[in-house]
Structures are given as C-alpha cells and as structure tokens.
Amino acid sequence: MLKELLVVIKESSYISKSNISKKLNISEELIEEGFEQLIRMGYIKEDVRGIKCDVGCSSCPYSKSCDKMPIKTIMITEKGERLLAK
Amino acid sequence: MNTIALVGNPNSGKTTLFNALTGSNQHVGNWPGVTVEKKEGKFKFNGNTYNVVDLPGTYSLGAFSEDEMVARDFILKGNPDVVINVVDATNIERNLYLTSQLLEMGVKVIVVLNMIDEAEAKNIQFGIKTLSKKLGVPVVTTAASKRKGIKELIEEIVRVIDGEMDLKPSISYGDKIDREIKTIKKLLSGKTLEYPPRWIAIKLIEGDQYVHDLVSENKALSSDSEFGDVLSAVKENIEDNELEIVNRRYEFVNDVTRVSVVRPEEAVKTVTDKVDKILIHKYFGLPIFILIMFVLFQLTFAVGEDLLGGLMAAAVDAVGHAIEVFLVNINSPAWIIAFVSEGIIGGIGAIIEFIPLIVVLYMLIGILEDSGYMARAAYIMDNIMRKLGLHGKTFISMIVGFGCNVPGVMATRTLESKKDRMIAILINPFMSCGAKLLIYLVFIAAFFPNGGGLILFLIYFIGILVALLVGKIFSRTLFKGETTDFIMELPPYRKPVLRNVLRNMWDNVSGFLKRAGTVIFAVVTVLWIMAVLPAGVEPYGAESILGRIGLFIAPIFKPAGFGTWQAAVGLFSGIAAKEAVVTTLGMVYAGVGEGTELISAIQGAFTPLTSVSFMVMTLLYTPCVATIATIKKETNSVKWAIFAMVYTFAIGWTMAVLVFQTGRLLGFS
Ligand SMILES: Nc1nc2c(ncn2[C@@H]2O[C@H](COP(=O)(O)OP(=O)(O)OP(=O)(O)O)[C@@H](O)[C@H]2O)c(=O)[nH]1
Ligand SMILES: [Mg+2]
C-alpha cells in the first residue's frame, strides 16, 4: 500500500486524498495514515505549516500572518525517489 | 493476582477507562500525552482482585520515544495476563496500526472500541463480529466516559484470562521476511533473552536500533557465527524490510477495516471532484480564477465603500471635530491643536476611513481560503509558473504577500533551492500588501468613485504580472540551478467557517490598527515636525523642511506626471511604511479645502491619468523598511537588500513613466 501510494503521489499533478482513495480502493482515513507514515519514514516531506519567524515576532504587527500557510505541499525525498527507481 | 495493561493511542480514553474500571480518579485530559508514566490501580470481581496498569498513549511500539519504550517494555516484560488495546472508534484506521504491532507480540489482546458513542453520532458503523474474526481477538465496545460497556468488558477480561487464546501470528510479511523471521527465531531459541524470540526477530529485520544494540551486547549471540551471518544479511536490507513490514501492517489494517467499518458517504467529496473538473480545468481554470478575483474586488467596493464607507468617513469627521472643539475649549496651545487636527486626524484619520473596505476585502479573501479555493488558485498559478521557469511554491509566498510582504518574504523559506528562493524573495514586494491598498483607495475615491473594483483588480493584476515577468527574467539571468519538484494538496471544498473567516480578517485588520498606533503614529509625528519647521515658514508649505526635501526629489517624477513636492514626500515617507503615503498627503494637504479635505486636495493636485501612474508607482516601487530588513535577514546579504530597494524603484518609475507617457499620447489627461 505504501509503495503504491508513493507511486500515485509521484504520478499526480495534485493531491486529492479522496481521488487517491478511490484509485487505490483504500479508505480515505487509511490513505491519510499512509501519508503520515511515508512522512515519518522519510519518503516524502510535507511543508511545515506556518512560517516560524524567530526574532522580534511579538512586536511585529503582522506576526499572526506568519503562523499560517494557506496551502499544503508535498515533496518526494531522495529516499522516496530511490524507492521509486527500484 | 492478575494484571491487565491498558495500551492505545494518545487521547483514546485509556485513563477514562482505567478510572471506570478501578474507580480511581486519575487525571484525564482532552489532549494527547496526559498520562506520561504508567499508573496502577485495582478492581475486584467475583472475589478476585485484578491489577490494572494505565500506560502512556503511543501511536506505535517502536523505540522512538520514552513513552513507546515504557509501553512496550511493560507489555513484554511486565507479564500482563491480558492487554487491553483501547481504540478510538472514530479513528479506527489510525488506531489499528498499534493493534497490528500488539498482535506481533504474542500476548493476549482484547480490543476495546471506545468512544463508541461518538462514532455512533458520526454514523460510523462496525461489524463487531467480523472485526473480531479478522483481528483474531475479542472486540468489546465501550463509552468509557459514560461508563457504558464496562461490565461486558470485565466479563470478557475474566473469560480471556481464564481461557486459552490462539496466539498464532495473524500477519504475514511476505515469504522472504517470514522465512527470515523463522530462521532468526530458531537461532534465538535456547538463548536467555528479555523478549520473546519472534518479536526480536521482527524488530531486527525492521531495524529497531534498541533491539540491535541488545543483541550485540548478548555474549551468547555475538559468539554465534551463524547468527552473525544472518544478522549482517538482514542489516543490508533494512530500509526495504522496514518498508515491507510497515506496509504489511497497513495492508492488514486495510484488510480488516474494509469489511468491518462503514463510514457515511460524504457528499462534499463527490461534489469536490465534480467542481474541480471545472475550476482547475486546463483552459477554463485561469479565466475563472481571474473572474473570481474581479468579482471579489467589485464586492469589496459595493459592500465596503458604498454601504459602509460613508458611515466611517462621517464618524471620523465627527470624532475629529469633537476633539478639536474639546481642545479649543480647554484652551490648549495652538501647536497642539494643529498637531492633533492636522497631523493626527488629518493623517491617521485618512487611513481609518478605509477600514470597512479592508475588513470586507480580507473577509472575502478569508472565504476563498477557507472554502479551499485558494489551493486551486495556487494550483492554476503553479502550472503557469512552471512554464515560466519559476517554482510553483513562489505563488504561495505571493498569496501571503497580499497581506504583508514581511511574512510573504518569510514564506519563501519553504522553497528548497537557493535559486527559487532568491527569485521568490525579490519579486514578493510587487504583491500589493494591505498598506498599499489604502493609497489606491484614496485615489479611487478621488477619481474613479464608480470604477473602484475594476481599478483595484487591474492594480493587483499588474502586480502579479510584473512579478511573473521579472521572475522569469531573473531565472534566465541572475540565478541558475535546479528547481525541486513538489505536489500541491487540494483539500475537499467546505463551507467556510465564519470563525475562521473572521479570524483571518482580524489578523490583518489588527495588524493594520497596531501599525496605525505605532509605526504610522511615529512617522506622522516626525513628518509633522518637519512640515512646520523651521519656525516662521508657512506650515505644510514648500519652505518647510519637508517641502524642501520634496522639492529636491520632485523633478525625478516629472516624466511620470506627478512632479509635485507633496507627491515626492509622500513616496519618500512611504518607504518608512506604505500607509504613510496617505497620511503624509493627508497632512500636507490638510490646510487645503474643506470636508473630506484630502480627496478634494488630491483632485486638485492630480489628474485621472497622473493618479493612475502614481498608483502604479506605489504598487511597484521600493518596499517599506520592514520588508527590506526582512529581505536582508532572509538573504543574509546587505547587497541583495540594496538591490531589492533599487531595482524595484527603477521598475516602478519606468512603469509609471510608461503609463503616463502612453496615456498622454492616447489623449488621456
Ligand atoms: N465521548 C466520549 N469521550 C470519551 C470517552 N472516553 C474518553 N473520552 C474523553 O476523551 C478524552 C481523553 O481521555 P483520556 O482518558 O485522558 O485519554 P488517554 O488515552 O488516557 O490519553 P493519554 O493519557 O494522553 O494517552 C477525555 O476528554 C475523555 O473525557 C468515550 O467513551 N466517549
Ligand atoms: Mg491517560
């Protein structure tokens, strides 16, 4: 399941978990789990949500805009690419 | 005395169940990680005493954290007679991963589907018999917080402890690994070890560092050359083996849940697919995006200006007037009255009047964001940016830049390659931030009261266009290098939640207000002093310090059509903070005209054409100091910060001149 998931991620132009769920015939909850596991195992990487400004944030009037990242993106790591190459 | 261990994911209700079983009162909290050490308690049933151990919550039983070690050590070394696996029924897919690891341990397990009340409320249905058969262990449902199902659970516990249980392994890891497990298990037999041999075998193949260390410290094993050979063969393939084992666990979970869990079909998801066919369509996607932005700006004006704008202006006027009257009545010195009425009210009041527009605009943007459309917009832009040789993630930092360029520049941190990041940083200032919005609003009010939406739309559009073009040029010339690939997630659409929308709006508006009270206030004060000094000159006149600075810079802007000293000082102070363009104009024109003085003064000093070239200038020219400082910090280079200051000015000036001169040739004035 994990490898299939990785292949689907590689082939997609965007990620829709419900589409992937349909494609692999695996429940969406489990697909969600699969993503997290792939991240934990270092095959893919997800953008950290939010930008951490390390200095002077409390006084910055726009500090609140810093905590959010409107869009999630995923990258396949080197380890992931190695697996795909096999 | 029999011992019962409670294991499960964090926040699955273990402690609640522990309390229900033992009648004790351990700390329960609705967040993960409440129980950090194991807790013990007792209960009596049919004259027997049972010892219950509440373990810390874990998602897995590896050696990643202290909690995982505590839990797995107790299960394997504490000799519990039965392990109760508390599963959050609303999240069963995630929870069963831990279950799959428990089943590897060769201990008696009972699966408790806790929070069954919530699962029922969410309309999730379980085939308990099938679930139990597939897992190979008894399954009991409970609602621990309501003390439901506790009696049945106790009965099951007694049954399991007294009875026999088939502990045959239920997960196969594929022929190759299964064979390796058998081989290792055989080699381990007869050796004194703290853990069951089969479990050690799995962990060795999976690459569990703790177990590897354990084995290498064992004298009997390290002197066994056959075992050494097998072990080094295993070590070669650890990455593949780990993936395969984890994979098999998930397949097991999938196999189990597929036939035993039914979740309600979510209508949103089918709708999402259909809607996306249009919204991210190869050809329609972009026009629709543009149309949505256009409507957004139209709505902003219709609601923010026509409906609410007048009220706010009237309120500012009334309050300003009242303060002036008050100051006169208490016999304040003339300079204080002048400072307050012309500096503060004329300057800061000018920006306060536009708050309703800003509120509406950011609420609309918040709706787009919360509904999930923003991700689609980024996806459409991603395709375009790739074609231009830019990294698609750049657009994400650009979206953030619409609020403020400081976090916008920070957001480029998610770009991996230096090349992509430098380009994204350098073009971010072209994104029209909330502060610049004020400038357009003033000029729109003066010259295009009926076409505000269109003008705003065009300005933002020009900003994006210039950013893309400049980015393309940079990627061709200044920066070379690989771009990294990435995939965007498109979440299902959902109805925007009012709370999120309001919070998003407030984050921006509060930032705006905070700035008005601090940075802008300071800038206004300094400028006011410069506008009334040296003593004796006419205040706010060309002879004041401010006026002389303005006169000195003004000729640069002649070709762009706004070569007045007022416009020049406005742009100059805009480098301190963009709002200051408006406050400065508000102040230097405060003596002129009456009523909404600034608007009528601007109508006198600019023409429709020069107002457009001025807006283009403010859109593109040198970013504010806060942004420059951030660019310096993020690029770690003064050189690039100065470059950003200078090249944006050059582009702003060029574009403004282009607009003015072309406009004149075409006969506009
Ligand atoms: N609706 C409902 N809520 C429950 C049930 N069982 C527990 N809860 C709630 O779930 C939350 C977590 O419960 P805990 O017992 O602290 O969970 P835990 O598994 O001990 O959590 P950690 O110690 O952090 O691992 C609490 O707010 C409980 O009131 C249940 O059966 N139904
Ligand atoms: Mg607990």
Query: Residue B399: pLDDT above 90?
Result: no
Distance from chain centroid for Cα B204: 39
DSSP B581-613: HHHHHHHHTTTSSSSSHHHHHHHHH--HHHHHH
Task: Please give the CATH topology (third level) of the domain spanning B2-162.
Answer: Rossmann fold (3.40.50)
Nearest atom (ligand 1) to Cα of B86: 19
Q: With an 8 Å Cβ cutoff, are B374 and A79 in contact? A: no
Query: Residue B659: pLDDT above 50?
Result: yes
CA of A30 to the centre of ligand 1 (A): 22
Radius of gyration of chain A measured on its C-alpha atoms = 16
CA of B150 to the centre of ligand 1 (A): 15
Interface of A with B in 57-76 (CB under 8 A): 60-66, 69-76
Shortest distance, CA B174 to any CA of chain A (angstroms)? 13
Query: Residue B257: pLDDT above 50?
Result: yes
Q: What is the mean pLDDT of residues B416-426?
A: 88
Share of chain B above pLDDT 90, in %: 34
CA of B524 to the centre of ligand 1 (A): 55
Query: Residue B592: pLDDT above 50?
Result: no
Mind listing the pLDDT tens digit for each residue in B356-380?
888 888 889 889 888 889 889 889 9
- Spatial CA neighbour of B324 closest among B312, B338, B311, B313: B338
Mind listing the pLDDT tens digit for each residue in A24-78?
989 888 999 999 999 988 999 887 655 555 555 556 666 666 666 667 888 898 8
Q: What is the mean pLDDT of residues B476-490?
A: 77
CA of B29 to the centre of ligand 2 (A): 7
CB under 8 Å, gap of 24 or more: what pairs does B186-189 form? B187/B224, B187/B226, B187/B227, B187/B230, B188/B221, B188/B227
ipTM of the complex: 0.87
Q: What is the Cα–Cα distance from B382 to B380, expressed in whole angstroms? A: 5
Token digits of residue B490? 């498109």
Task: Please give the CATH topology (third level) of the domain spanning A2-85.
Answer: Arc Repressor Mutant, subunit A (1.10.10)
> B188 vs B337, which has greater pLDDT?
B188
Q: How confident is the model at residue B595 (pLDDT cuts 50, 70, 90)?
A: very low
Query: Residue B414: pLDDT above 70?
Result: yes
Q: Which of B62-76, B149-163, B319-333 has the highest mean pLDDT?
A: B149-163
Handedness of CA B525, B529, B531, B536 (dihedral sign): positive
Shortest distance, CA B660 to any CA of chain A (angstroms)? 34
The mean pLDDT value of chain B amounts to 86
B491 touches chain A (CB under 8 A): yes
Q: What is the mean pLDDT of residues B645-650?
A: 94
* Ligand 1 and B70: CB distance under 6 A: no
Nearest atom (ligand 1) to Cα of B57: 25
A9 touches chain B (CB under 8 A): yes
Domains B2-162 and B175-262 agree in fold: no
Tell me, what's the pLDDT at B593? 39
Shortest distance, CA B428 to any CA of chain A (angstroms)? 15
B175-262 is classed CATH 1.10.287.1770: yes
Under DSSP, is residue B312 helix (H, G, I), strand (E, B) or coil?
helix
Top mutation candidate among B9, B11, B24 for ligand 1, by most atoms within 8 Å of CB = B11
Interface of A with B in 38-57 (CB under 8 A): 41, 47-48, 51, 53, 55
